[in-house]
Structure 1
């Protein structure tokens, strides 16, 4: 009887401890509901977050935004006064080209080859409705080395390609691969998804308010 009571007390205390640290943001957990951060974080993975740690560019953060119905997870690219620009798919921060090793590029894949590699673990977000032109070309996000081994051409939009959602947000004729320059105002953040060609991020929904950041992803 004593053992059962002691166990119940310990269990209750543990649950209360979890509630406290979760409600204060000291330690929290969230589910990755999209493929935006592949391959770093796969869809349906759980991430553990804390607001005890400072975050900086290239860290992965969790935040709330009116654009989404629940907290979301993205990589932090720019903070207050940083100048962000994307030129032909290449990311620049404060005039310096970023070693964008986390980026998952998107490639053009001929129809015949697409059906040969569709089950490969080295490609992401690949499905038949993702056709690019007519019925003979598909768009596939893939690891760089794998794409290089297949001699695939990276899909980069030129400046003439219009994306109305970006234009509505920034009142500029930018697109996902030709964006900015944009200087981040005070108390705002600019975020991108690693799965760059399949990510609705700050290029589309705008800047993130610092006050809505829940914390930094630890693992």
Structure 2
């Protein structure tokens, strides 16, 4: 009887683990590019996307994607297909598809000096897109680095039109993130997983 119960428990556990791995993916945070939201060395539990499309994602979602030789990259969705993004003086300006004008994504100061990066003190700000609020870190010491921005054909420096089936992503640690400002757009099909609401962090 005990053997039967043990075998049954093992089978149930194996099925449960398979289902968990099908729907969820734990992601190890390998960099500081998403500070203050995600801390290096932590873990975030995300929902696996099997056939991602534009309808699978929303503004401000945390997403994990593969980019060229680098796997499990974590960033935040800032622009959706058809949107126009402008980044000037460390501020995002968003013109959504079919919208008549750019909207400034205001950097509302929360605190200064609580976090630091490479010896630089970081100011903590709140951003809001589509009613979703999130925190970003910016330093007044590191320049905007326009010279290394990704240049889209027929667009000025620091301005991008998001193509169909792509997204524009950024890290929350704005001055220390290699994101769409530098590497360009991310094909939605490369997105492996997205956050569970505000995320489940360990």
TM-score under structure 1 length normalisation: 0.67
Q: Which residue of 1 aligns with 2:52?
A: none
Mapped to 2, the partners of 1:212 and 1:41 lie a distance apart of: 21
Q: Which structure: greater helix fraction?
A: 1
- Alpha-carbon distance change, 92 to 37 in structure 1, aligned in 2, over 3 angstroms: same
Which residue, out of 164, 169, 179, partners 1:186? 164
Question: Does the aligned pair in 2 maintain the 1:82–1:184 contact within 8 Å?
Answer: yes
Residue by residue over 1:35-61, the C-alpha shift from the partner in whole angstroms, topping out at 9 and shown as x without a partner, is: 111111111111111147942111111
The aligned runs of 1:101-180 (5 Å cut-off) are 122-127=114-119, 139-143=120-124, 154-155=140-141, 157=143, 163-164=147-148, 166-167=149-150, 170=152, 174=157, 179-180=158-159
- Alpha-carbon distance change, 44 to 77 in structure 1, aligned in 2, over 3 angstroms: same
1:28 deviation in Å?
1.6
Residue by residue over 1:37-92, the C-alpha shift from the partner in whole angstroms, topping out at 9 and shown as x without a partner, is: 11111111111111479421111111111151x21111100010010001111111
Q: Which residue of 1 aligns with 2:130?
A: none
- Alpha-carbon distance change, 97 to 39 in structure 1, aligned in 2, over 3 angstroms: same
Question: Does the aligned pair in 2 maintain the 1:32–1:47 contact within 8 Å?
Answer: yes
TM-score under structure 2 length normalisation: 0.72
Structural RMSD (CA)? 3.1
Q: Which residue of 2 aligns with 1:201?
A: 179
Q: Which residue of 2 aligns with 1:133?
A: none
Structure 1 or 2, whichever has the larger Rg, is 1
Which residue, out of 30, 35, 47, partners 1:33? 30
- Alignment gaps of 5+ in structure 2: 50-54, 96-101, 127-138
Mapped to 1, the partners of 2:169 and 2:110 lie a distance apart of: 15
Mapped to 1, the partners of 2:107 and 2:11 lie a distance apart of: 46
Q: Classify the secondary structure of the residue corresponding to 2:31.
A: coil
Mapped to 2, the partners of 1:212 and 1:63 lie a distance apart of: 5
Q: Which residue of 1 aligns with 2:9?
A: 10
